[in-house]
Amino acid sequence: MSARASFASAAALLMARDLRLALRRAGDSLLPLGFFLVITTLFPLALDPELSQLRDIAPAALWVGALLSSLLALDLLFRDDGQDGALEQLALCGQPFAGLLLAKTVVHWLLTGLPLVLVAPLAAIALGAPYGAMPGILAAVLLGTVCLSLIGAVGAGLTLSLRRNGSLLALLVLPLAVPVLIFGARATALAIAGESLAAPLYLLAATAVLAATLAPWALAAAVRIGLE
Amino acid sequence: MTVNLARFFAMGGYAVYVWPCYALAALVIGLNIVAARRSLQRAQRAARRRLEAARGAMAP
Amino acid sequence: MAWVWFHKFGSPPHFYRLATRLTPWAAWPALLLGLAGLIGGLVLAPADYQQGDGFRIIYVHAPAAWLSLMVYVVMACTAAVGLIWRMAVAHAVAASCAPIGASFTALALATGMLWGRPMWGTYWEWDPRLTSELLLLFLYLGYMGLRNAIDDVPRADRASAVLAIVGVVNVPIIHYSVIWWNSLHQAPSVMKFGQPTMPASMLIPLLLMLAAFTLLFAALLLIRARGEVLQRERNARWMLEALERLSTHDGPPTRDGPSAKGVLVGR
């Protein structure tokens, strides 16, 4: 074996390690999901429990819930690795730092985004969406959570070295996530109405591609600054 | 003349909206000028203090 | 070499002197153009045939909205220069932009709302322009919040620079997503500011005001940036000179341009 592993194997090792660590404390990763469910439950309680009315607010409830729970989940992304010096090791190990951080973000999405993708259509049904809307909502939440994880990771990187960063992180990330919210909620609304949701899905996909290409560089710069 | 002035200030019935806008603009501009100058003065005072401290440290 | 000016600009003493010298050259024309624009806009321009005298709000709203965007772009560009070439002066300029930009964004919002009351019948309409302006204000607040949270100045510079660049990439996306979102609900947009065919008597005061606000921003930026440069500087020698000259002359000598004793000029 060569002294320096290829980037692919390094990223695979990192992802396996992150997954193992997270699964050892699976409860932590599932907390944002619980938060999402509680939020979507609160909306009907604040309104009339009539399904026809709930259907109108279902997109808003789903996406505001997804946004807030992804914000909450960001705490898990770098907290432990920032404290025990693992991030410094990654920065110094000679592999492209942006790529490694992207790998970490992918794991983060697998742990906190993917459960949301699976649960969101069910939550939508509970809010009065027809069964036929499930694939559309699934696709929208899939693309949307990818965007949210990538955008949120940049915010988490920027606030890495700060002590109490909760509300600041929200102020940094939420305005940047507005396009995702708009496209996602619109796609969900169209899916519930039984219309074609191609346009917002394309826009979400474009946002996801853009975020996946640009966010890693910003993330690497932000984390490096935080580590200095 | 007074009639003209009164008409000018009435702004065709939009006085309640037009004049607050201009007042706000004047306020924002004024505050910006004051804040910019104060931040410069604060930096200058701090720099002077730093210099004096450095000079004090150098003199035995 | 063509890069000499670049390196010269990046040297704090040179920048400080240049900024001191340039400030009156921005401030006084701003005042004159602003007065001319005010007279032209409030007195000489005829009332709009649809909006009556209410349209005169445009002479403060449009320049404020223009500044809100331009200041953000200037902030992001200088932040990028500071990040790439590790230039403290560029960071100082970027840091000075934020409070100015945020205040003019707030002004654009407030005047937009005051215009909306008679035109839309309500202070707040989820109009794409006003909504984008509000989101822009949040971006400024996030930038300032991040700077505020980091005590170490060089680190605050670099972290906020990354945020400014991320933000400036996002601004057009946010703007167009908001327009797209609004177009779906198709509340027939009532009247919009800035009709394409504006008579010269209305347009010229607007251009004057735009120029005046831009120059005012330049003057404010130069004053603030001098403070920020001083804050970042540890090299005593040129600072000593700058501060000594300050206490003996009470302003730069006359060959530096118009008298610096004006209201707008920070000493």
pLDDT, tens digit (0-9, with 9 covering 90-100), for A151-193: 999 999 999 888 777 789 999 999 999 999 999 999 999 999 9
Structure ipTM:
0.90
Of chain B residues 11-50, which have a CB less than 8 A from chain C? 11-14, 17-18, 20-22, 24-25, 28-29, 31-33, 35-37, 39-44, 46-48, 50
Predicted local distance difference test score (pLDDT) of residue C247: 61
State whether C246 and B44 contact (CB < 8 Å).
Answer: yes
Structure-token pair, residue A126: 């509970």
Q: Which residue did the predictor score with more confidence, C189 or C92?
A: C92
State whether C243 and B48 contact (CB < 8 Å).
Answer: yes
User: What is the spatial distance between Cα C57 and Cα C108, in angstroms, rounded to a whole number?
Assistant: 10
State whether C178 and A182 contact (CB < 8 Å).
Answer: yes
Contact A55, A129 (CB under 8 A): yes
Nearest CA in chain B to C263: B33
Nearest CA in chain C to B18: C57
Model confidence at C186: pLDDT above 60: no
Min Cα separation B49/chain C (Å): 11
Return contacts of B11-14, CB within 8 angstroms, 24+ apart. Answer: B11/C53, B11/C54, B11/C56, B12/C47, B12/C52, B12/C53, B12/C54, B13/C52, B13/C53, B14/C52, B14/C53, B14/C54, B14/C56, B14/C118
CA dihedral angle for residue C31, residue C37, residue C38, residue C39, rounded to 10 degrees: 110
CB contact, 8 Å: A165 with chain C? Answer: yes
State whether C230 and B33 contact (CB < 8 Å).
Answer: no
Interface chains of chain C (3 or more CB pairs under 8 Å): A, B
Task: Mutate one of A158, A188, A190, A228 to test the C interface: name it (highest C CB count within 10 A).
Answer: A158
Predicted local distance difference test score (pLDDT) of residue C197: 64
User: What is the spatial distance between Cα C121 and Cα A163, in angstroms, rounded to a whole number?
Assistant: 46
Which domain covers residue B44, as residue numbers? 2-58
State whether A175 and C83 contact (CB < 8 Å).
Answer: no
**Chains A and C make contact, 3+ CB pairs within 8 Å:** yes
Predicted local distance difference test score (pLDDT) of residue C258: 41
Confidence of residue C254 (pLDDT cuts 50, 70, 90): very low
Min Cα separation B60/chain C (Å): 18
User: What is the spatial distance between Cα C144 and Cα C99, in angstroms, rounded to a whole number?
Assistant: 8
State whether A179 and C170 contact (CB < 8 Å).
Answer: yes
Of chain C residues 152-181, which have a CB less than 8 A from chain A? 155, 158-159, 162-163, 165-167, 169-170, 173-174, 177-178, 180-181
Q: Which residues contact C68 (CB under 8 A, 6 or more apart)?
A: C101, C104, C105, C108, C133, C136, C137
With contacts defined as CB-CB under 8 Å, which chain B residues touch C231? 43, 46-47
Amino acid in position C36: A
Mean pLDDT of the A202-227 span: 93
Based on the structure, what is the number of domains in chain B? 1
Amino acid in position A112: T
pLDDT digits 0-9 by tens, A131-144 = 989 999 999 999 99
Q: Which residue did the predictor score with more confidence, C48 or C232?
A: C232
Confidence of residue C260 (pLDDT cuts 50, 70, 90): very low
**Chains C and B make contact, 3+ CB pairs within 8 Å:** yes
Amino acid in position C199: P
State whether C264 and B14 contact (CB < 8 Å).
Answer: no
Beta bridge partners of C48: C52
Q: Which residues contact A157 (CB under 8 A, 6 or more apart)?
A: A78, A101, A218, A219, A222, A223, A226
Model confidence at A20: pLDDT above 50: yes
Confidence of residue A26 (pLDDT cuts 50, 70, 90): confident
Contact A156, C147 (CB under 8 A): no
3 state DSSP class of C48:
strand
User: What is the spatial distance between Cα A127 and Cα A136, in angstroms, rounded to a whole number?
Assistant: 15
Confidence of residue C190 (pLDDT cuts 50, 70, 90): very low
Mean predicted lDDT score pLDDT of chain C = 84
Surface-to-core class of residue C142, CB atoms within 10 Å of its CB (0-12 exposed, 13-18 middle, 19+ buried): buried
- Percentage with pLDDT > 70 across chain A: 98
Phi/psi of residue C48, each to 5°?
-70, 145
Interface chains of chain A (3 or more CB pairs under 8 Å): C
CA dihedral angle for residue A35, residue A41, residue A45, residue A51, rounded to 10 degrees: 160
Sign of CA dihedral A13, A14, A20, A21: positive
Model confidence at C253: pLDDT above 50: no
With contacts defined as CB-CB under 8 Å, which chain B residues touch C223? 36-37, 39-40
Model confidence at C238: pLDDT above 50: yes
- Residue found by looking up tokens 């009435």 in the block: B10
Q: Which residues contact B45 (CB under 8 A, 6 or more apart)?
A: none
Domain boundaries along the sequence of chain C: 12-45+55-190+197-233, 241-267
Per-residue pLDDT of chain B (60 residues; tens, 9 = 90+): 677 888 888 888 888 889 999 999 999 999 999 999 999 999 989 888 888 887 777 665
User: What is the spatial distance between Cα A72 and Cα A170, in angstroms, rounded to a whole number?
Assistant: 9
Q: Which residue did the predictor score with more confidence, A209 or B59?
A: A209
Q: Whole-angstrom distance between the N-terminal and C-terminal Cα of chain A?
A: 32
Confidence of residue C250 (pLDDT cuts 50, 70, 90): very low
Predicted local distance difference test score (pLDDT) of residue C195: 52
pLDDT digits 0-9 by tens, C82-107 = 999 989 999 999 999 999 999 999 99
Predicted local distance difference test score (pLDDT) of residue B58: 65
Of the ranges A159-168, C122-131, C136-145, which is most confident?
Answer: C136-145
Mean pLDDT of the C202-220 span: 94
With contacts defined as CB-CB under 8 Å, which chain A residues touch C177? 178-179, 182-183, 203
Model confidence at C252: pLDDT above 60: no
Structure-token pair, residue A169: 């992180």
Confidence of residue A56 (pLDDT cuts 50, 70, 90): confident
Interface chains of chain B (3 or more CB pairs under 8 Å): C
Predicted local distance difference test score (pLDDT) of residue B59: 60
Residue from the list C83, C139, C146 with its beta carbon closest to the beta carbon of A175: C139
Residue from the list B29, B40, B48 with its beta carbon closest to the beta carbon of C216: B29
